[in-house]
C-alpha cells in the first residue's frame, strides 16, 4: 500500500516527533504494517481533521430525527437493496482507496474469526455464511446486513449446540488454524477508485452512512446492527477460552452487550469494532505461526 511507504520513508525530528510515525512504529498491537498505515493515513487526513467535527454532530442529529420519524412510519422507506447501492456509490466516488481497502478486509476477517471458533469446537456443526468481497461491487450483495446476521446466527447456533451437548468452550491443546489467512486477502487493490473526489476518510464515511443505515433498514435491523458492535467482547471471550489466553480481551473497547449503548454512538464504535477485529485476527495469525501452521 502507498501509505506504508509514506510512513517507512518519513523523516524523524526529536524536537518535533511525528505522532503518526510513533503509532506506526509501535508494536504493542500485532497489526500488519499495511493495516496500521491505512488506519493512520485516514486518522491523519485532512478530511478527518476538518470534516469529521462537522459531520459527526450532523449525523447524530439525523439519527435522532429518523428515529422520531420511524415512530410514525416505521418501515416506509426500508430497502436493504437501496442501502447497499447507496453505500457502494458513495464508496466508489468519495472514499479514499485505503479506507475502502480496510472496509473490504473487515468482512474477510470477520468470516475467518467465526470459522476459527466453529472449527475448534468438537462435536458442533455450525452453518456459516463467509463473506469474501474482492471489490466494491461485491458489497452490493447485501454484505453489510449479512455481516450482522452472521454474528448473531453464529452465537445462537453455537450456544444451542453447546447446551444440547452439555459442553462448554475450553482450551484446546491442538488448534485448527487452516481458516486463518496469514498473508494478504484476495482483494483487488487495482479496482479501488483513486479519482479526484476520493478524499473522504474511513471514520467520516462511517458517520455519513450510519443515518442511512437507520433510514433504509427496519428498526429491528438497525438496532441489531448497532448492538452487534458490543459483541466484540463476546467473540473475544470465545477465542480466549479456546486459546487459553484471556489477555486480548482487555484490549476490547466494545464491551458489555447486556447493557446496550445509544445508537448515536454507533459511528465511533464501528471504528473500535474494526480495530478489535483486526487485532484479534492478527493475534490468531501470531498463534498460527507459533503453532507451526502453514499459510
* pLDDT digits 0-9 by tens, 97-114: 999 999 999 999 999 999
Q: Determine how many CB atoms are found less than 10 A away from the CB of residue 209.
A: 20
How do residues 10-66 score in pLDDT, each as one tens digit? 889 999 999 999 999 999 999 999 999 999 999 999 999 999 999 999 999 999 999
Q: Environment class of residue 102 by beta-carbon count within 10 Å: exposed (0-12), middle (13-18) or buried (19+)? A: buried
Question: Distance (Å, rounded) from C-alpha 6 to C-alpha 29?
Answer: 20
Tell whether the model's pLDDT for residue 2 goes beyond 70.
no
Residue 95's SS3 state is strand
Tell whether the model's pLDDT for residue 122 goes beyond 60.
yes
pTM equals: 0.95
Give the pLDDT band (50/70/90) at residue 138: very high
pLDDT (0 to 100) of residue 114: 98
* CB-based burial, 127-148: b 16+ in 10 Å, e otherwise: eeeebebebbebbeeebbbbbb
Domain ranges across the chain: 1-44, 46-291
CB contact set of 144 (below 8 Å; sequence gap of 6+): 83, 84, 87, 213
CB 277 within 8 A of CB 110: yes
pLDDT (0 to 100) of residue 293: 61
3-state secondary structure 144-190: HHHHHHHHHHHHHHHHHHHHHHCCCCCCCCCCCCCCCCCCCCCCCHH
Amino acid at each position: 500500500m502507498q501509505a506504508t511507504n509514506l510512513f517507512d520513508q518519513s523523516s524523524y525530528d526529536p524536537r518535533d516527533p511525528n505522532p503518526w510515525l510513533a503509532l506506526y512504529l509501535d508494536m504493542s498491537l500485532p497489526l500488519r504494517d499495511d493495516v496500521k498505515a491505512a488506519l493512520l493515513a485516514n486518522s491523519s487526513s485532512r478530511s478527518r481533521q476538518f470534516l469529521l467535527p462537522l459531520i459527526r454532530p450532523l449525523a447524530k442529529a439525523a439519527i435522532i430525527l429518523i428515529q422520531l420519524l420511524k415512530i410514525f412510519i416505521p418501515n416506509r422507506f426500508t430497502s436493504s437493496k437501496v442501502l447497499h447501492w447507496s453505500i457502494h456509490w458513495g464508496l466508489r466516488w468519495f472514499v479514499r482507496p485505503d479506507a475502502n481497502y480496510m472496509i473490504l478486509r473487515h468482512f474477510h476477517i470477520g468470516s475467518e474469526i467465526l470459522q476459527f471458533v466453529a472449527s475448534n469446537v468438537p462435536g458442533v456443526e455450525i452453518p456459516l455464511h463467509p463473506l469474501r468481497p474482492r471489490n466494491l461491487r461485491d458489497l452490493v450483495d447485501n454484505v453489510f446486513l449479512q455481516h450482522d446476521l452472521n454474528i448473531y446466527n453464529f452465537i445462537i447456533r453455537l450456544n444451542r449446540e453447546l447446551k444440547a451437548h452439555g459442553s462448554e468452550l475450553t482450551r484446546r491443546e491442538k488448534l485448527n488454524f487452516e481458516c486463518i489467512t496469514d498473508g494478504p486477502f484476495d482483494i483487488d487493490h487495482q479496482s479501488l477508485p483513486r479519482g479526484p473526489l476520493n478524499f473522504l476518510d474511513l471514520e467520516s464515511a462511517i458517520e455519513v452512512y450510519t443515518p442511512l443505515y437507520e433510514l433504509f433498514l427496519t428498526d429491528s435491523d438497525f438496532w441489531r446492527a448497532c448492538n452487534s458492535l458490543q459483541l466484540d467482547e463476546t467473540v473475544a471471550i470465545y477465542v480466549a477460552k479456546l486459546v487459553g489466553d484471556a489477555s486480548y480481551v482487555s484490549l476490547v473497547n466494545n464491551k458489555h452487550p447486556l447493557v446496550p449503548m445509544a445508537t448515536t454512538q454507533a459511528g465511533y464504535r464501528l471504528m473500535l469494532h474494526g480495530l478489535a477485529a483486526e487485532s484479534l485476527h492478527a493475534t490468531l495469525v501470531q498463534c498460527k505461526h507459533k503453532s507451526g501452521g502453514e499459510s
